[in-house]
Chains A and B, each alone.
Chain A
Amino acid sequence: MTYLIFGLILVPIAAGIVNILFRKNLSGIAALLTVAASAIDLVLAISLFGKEVTVTYPWAMFGIDLSLRVYSLNSFVLLFAGIFGILIALFSVNFMKGRAALNQFYSYFLLTLGLTNGAVLSDNLIVMLFFWEALLLVLFGMIIIGNKHAWKTASKAFIIVGISDVCLLIGIALTGFAAGTFNISNISLPVTSAINQVAFVMLMLGAISKAGSMPFHSWIPDAAKDAPLPFMALVPAALEKLLGIYFLARICLDIFKLTPESWLCQLMMIIGCITIIIPVMMALVQKDYKKLLSYHAISQVGYMILGVGTGMPLGIAGGIFHMINHATYKSCLFLTGGSVEKQAGSTSLEALGGLAAKMPITFACFIVAAFSISGVPPFNGFFSKEMIYQASLDRGLFFYICAAGGSFLTAASFLKLGHAAYLGPVRAENKSVKESPLSMTAPMIVLAGICVFFGLFNKIPVGIIGHAVAPRFNLAHIEEHANIMLIAITIVVIIAALAHHYIGYRMNGSGLKAVEHIHNAPVLSNLYDRAEKRYFDPYCIWDKLINGVSYVLLGIDRLIDFVFDGLCSGLSNAFSYLIRWAHNGLYAVYIAWAVAGALFVIYYILR
């Protein structure tokens, strides 16, 4: 069993390292190796599923042991990481063909998979930090190979994620200090003292920013344009969500004894609500397939944080279920985007239209995934959202309204996307578009299949997650208290979104422009303009601020330079030349030093 656990980490990483050694013309082998390693990873994850194993090896000193643990919750996460790995690897084989830096892409792909497995498996905070930080490097590499201008986005992602990783580092240090150990299984801190609260907030910031929540989100839409598409499907859509929300759940469930009444829960729920609403507003007006999806990748995190932040077993289970669901349908959506990009040559919605007839399988998968993300019953997104709705309604009406409102806007934006890309008249340049090959459609079909399966048989995943979240979690109990009212409201919201789309379509003339009236609304249009110019991007604000600060610092730096260059180096040079001058090579002088030294030593000892 031990070997299996290490295999989950080492097989992808080793294959990734081998991949980077390949020449460009051997990229076929690299792709094959990637698929093989991902398949092995999936097999290992399946064989470990539902097991309970802990492995500990002494590593560094000071209680930092290499300790890995598999248990019900993370074996589920590992299983899904494996599924996404193999599916997206298969998709990439065809999609990435003929691109530059393929060996690097496959290498980073596998490294991401292996490191994510490592971070999920780690039972020691320091070990987890190692994997977590290594992911940052791979993230940078993944984005920078996208195109010639991608380095800007890559460094943006690197800085933003780096800052949040520093938060995590501080949080881990504080937690270790407060608990006296870094072993996650042995930590159980109350959130009453100030230091524990700071530690919690820091760990939470690290976790939610890995999941891509606001205000650490602004690199994701940029990366959607620059980075290779399978990266988007694998990392921000799937693995980072799995990792971030899984860790958030661990913080709330294991590391800290969080009570729903604590202000920390309120904070998380507020962050969740903000993260739901603002990105979905941005998603509504996007005119690019991938960029629209990337804003949704941020918005959906809000639901998960809201769910976990309720602090109630139902909400936490809902959040984790939504994490799995989101990873499934968002990967699927990104893959449909990739399929469209590969076949139609563009992802700009203005250049697309009427693809439903040309690419029926892609369209069908898109429909399933879009229904899931909008929360249409009986797809999986509906059930996880329903759990979150119920938990958030218990905590306050405001949170429920935010969540339901987010749902409305999500549905509206996907109606727009589907209408603009797949329906309507076919453009002249898209006349010869064909359906994607099997290696690209198969992963989409599987993912869409999971969406349907988890919708129809939602008791299976909810049972597994619920059992991991609270041992006494009672599935039947939820069903008894299922709020018919909430379900009715959800359906009304979806119908309202449909109606809104129809009216918008009639008013503005095309599917793409169905939400233009929101875009052009009096206050909103102003805000949208500024958002497009990135006035609200924390990174850009910081960037401008830093410019001013750096001038001041430069002045101070010059001053310090002067002191060091002039004073210190002058002094040390003078001393150095003095010593050189003293070493004049005369035997007599050297002997005199030695004798004087000896006399001094003896005088001192006898004194």
Chain B
Amino acid sequence: MLSLYLVVPLLMFLVLNMPPIDLMRRAAFYFVAAVGILQVIVSNCMISGCALMGKDVLDGFFNFGVQKDQLSLVVLLAIGIVIVITSLLGNATIKETRSKFKFFNLLLIALIGMNSLVMVRDVFSLYVFIEVVAVSSFIMIAMKMDEEALEGAFKYIIMSIVATMMMLFGVGLFLISCGGTHFTIIEQSVRQDPGNILSKIAMGLFMCGLFVKSGIVPFHGWLPDAYSKAPSAASVLLAGIITKVSGVYVVIRMAMMFSPEPKIGKVLMFVGALSILIGAIAALTQSDFKRMLAYSSISQVGYIILAAGCGTGLAIVGAVFHFFNHAIFKTLLFVNAASLEESTGSVDMDRMGGLAHNLPAAGITSMIGFLSTAGIPPLAGFWSKLIIIIALWQAKNYGYAVLAVLASVITLGYLLSMQRRVFFGKPKPEFKDIKKENPGIVLAEIILAVITIAGGLMFPFLMEHLFLPLAKI
């Protein structure tokens, strides 16, 4: 069953590059969208525990030694949703057939990388797949090939190299100190030999590499540029899922693995809180829509890291729930940004105003997205933030809990000002006859908004079936 996650995208990738190439180029969107939808369906089936036909046959053919648990399944579900959205967006925003084809190929590679990275149980393989994802995203950022896009991509590459060095160094040290790179080996060794300096350095370095990947302050230098300079479809993918999976997911995984070392948790909480604060304050005065969202992303990731550092069962539940929600609502806001860019050709918030009249779907869904981000009940974002804050309070981290509450006020502040500057107010004459909203983008927006609302309203149900099992891992 698990092999579906790897085999299907891989096969699709091969089929996509077979002759007749012209036909394949035109069909690329449908291929990728189908893969994404399949992933959503399979993940739902796995979570709800119902069997798919032919499961055993598949597992007999392909056995990669990958494993799953509830955490992987939630992340796989999020990946599937964002891939569907990104393929919709890529189809709508990228006009030229060749670059569209290129984009969808890269999307499939990134998907394979992310799926494998969620399911492997080995630090070295983890590193390899992080690189697979990273390389495909470098190219996606640079796809426009103008000066800004190249600058963003180049910054990401440079910082990724720093991260690579840290992680590889860490993997090497693990190999020396623990005698292996499999998760269970490392976990046992950390538990049995807590004083080992080498494994401590290895943990610290590996974590720092992941911090770079997930854009935690002060390792985040590349993030605002990469997010804001990438083509809109790529920035949706990047902000929505790539940095989350290759950085934040692994941080949660590692935090659970390294839990015998209490200082790791403290470091996580400190950098998490720092990111919440710096990201939120920096977002206040941005005038570029996507750049503001990038800083907001730093701040929201801070919440996840803070909860992961807290380490109690409830905190991990909160972290993963917020991870899922963040994947949804940040993707939604980036889709709104894409809609703006598509229609007005700009993402400069100072020039905009009253766009809710021209782009009603974007105006309404961005409201849902920002309310969820700011944690307004009954939307999904409220519940995950609430769980995080309760978990922090229960673990007696009162200072961090208060900071988490106060920062969500700043979040509401900058997002409200965004909504007012861009969508509310009188329609400006210069935007009178801008392009209508693309139906693909509208569909993407509606799907995400519905998930946000449904996630909030069905919270007790989701909590019971999806997230509470996490506390047992």
Contacts and interface: CB of A to CB of B under 8 A. Distances in A.
Contacts of A602: 201, 204-205, 208
Contacts of B266: 604
Interface stretch (B92-100, B218-226, B392-400, B432-440): B218-226
Contacts of A61: 460
Given A579-B278, A579-B282, A602-B205, A594 B263 contact: no
Contacts of B82: none
A602 B166 CA distance: 11
B224 A587 contact: no
Interface string B10-36: 000000000000000000000000000
- Chain A's interface size range is 20 to 34
A567 to B, nearest CB: 15
Contacts of A580: 282, 285-286
* Range for the number of chain B residues in contact with chain A: 35 or more
Nearest to B211: A597
Interface string B204-236: 110110011000001101101100000000000
Given A597-B218, A606-B201, A579 B281 contact: yes
A579 B414 CA distance: 15
A598 B167 CA distance: 11
Given A587-B158, A597-B211, A605-B263, A576 B460 contact: no
Interface string A583-607: 1010101110111111001101110
Nearest to A586: B221
Contacts of B201: 602, 605-606
Nearest to A607: B263
A593 B281 contact: no
A60 interface: yes
A412 B201 CA distance: 95
B155 A587 contact: yes
B261 to A, nearest CB: 7
A590 B285 CA distance: 20
B159 interface: yes
Contacts of B155: 587, 590
A598 B282 contact: no
Contacts of A576: 281-282, 284-285
User: Would you call the interface of chain A mostly helix, strand, loop, or mixed?
Assistant: helix
B204 A601 contact: yes
A365 to B, nearest CB: 48
A601 B266 CA distance: 10
A575 B413 CA distance: 15
A601 B285 contact: no
Contacts of B208: 594, 597-598, 601-602
Nearest to A602: B204
Nearest to A597: B218
A577 interface: yes
B272 to A, nearest CB: 13
B204 A593 contact: no
Given A583-B221, A583-B224, A597-B271, 4 more contacts: A597-B211, A601-B267, A605-B203, A605-B261
A380 to B, nearest CB: 47
B204 A573 contact: no
A140 B219 CA distance: 55
Those 5 A-B pairs whose CB atoms lie nearest each other, nearest first: A590-B221, A598-B208, A576-B285, A593-B218, A602-B204
B264 interface: yes
Contacts of B222: 590
A193 interface: no
B59 to A, nearest CB: 36
Contacts of B271: 597
B212 A594 contact: yes
A605 B200 contact: yes
Contacts of A589: 221
A579 B217 CA distance: 11
Contacts of A601: 204, 207-208, 267
B410 interface: yes
A572 interface: yes
Nearest to B270: A604
Contacts of B163: 594
B162 interface: yes
A186 B298 CA distance: 49
A27 to B, nearest CB: 29
29 contacts: A61-B460, A572-B281, A577-B285, A580-B282, A583-B221, A585-B225, A590-B221, A591-B158, A591-B159, A591-B221, A593-B218, A593-B219, A594-B162, A594-B163, A594-B221, A595-B162, A597-B271, A598-B166, A598-B205, A598-B219, A601-B204, A601-B207, A601-B208, A602-B204, A604-B267, A605-B200, A605-B264, A606-B200, A606-B204
B219 A594 contact: yes
Interface in A71-102: none
A312 B411 CA distance: 58
A580 B284 CA distance: 10
A432 B322 CA distance: 73
A587 B153 CA distance: 12
B197 interface: yes
Greatest chain A CB density within 10 A among B221, B224, B225, B460 is at B221
B279 to A, nearest CB: 9
Nearest to B221: A590
Interface string B163-186: 100100000000000000000000
A46 to B, nearest CB: 35
Contacts of B162: 591, 594-595
Contacts of B205: 598, 602
A67 B197 CA distance: 59
A60 B456 CA distance: 12
A576 B284 CA distance: 7
A590 B159 contact: yes
B278 to A, nearest CB: 6
B94 to A, nearest CB: 27
A112 to B, nearest CB: 25
Interface string A61-75: 100000000000000
Contacts of A573: 284-285
A598 B204 contact: yes
A60 B460 contact: yes
Nearest to B166: A598
Contacts of B212: 594
A61 B159 CA distance: 46
A354 B258 CA distance: 93
A572 B203 CA distance: 35
A577 B284 CA distance: 9
Interface in B455-473: 460
A597 B166 CA distance: 12
B212 to A, nearest CB: 6
Interface in B261-302: 261, 263-264, 266-267, 271, 278, 281-282, 284-286
A563 to B, nearest CB: 15
A606 B173 CA distance: 15
Nearest to A61: B460
B159 A594 contact: yes
A593 B221 contact: yes
Contacts of B284: 572-573, 576
A605 B199 CA distance: 11
A446 B219 CA distance: 80
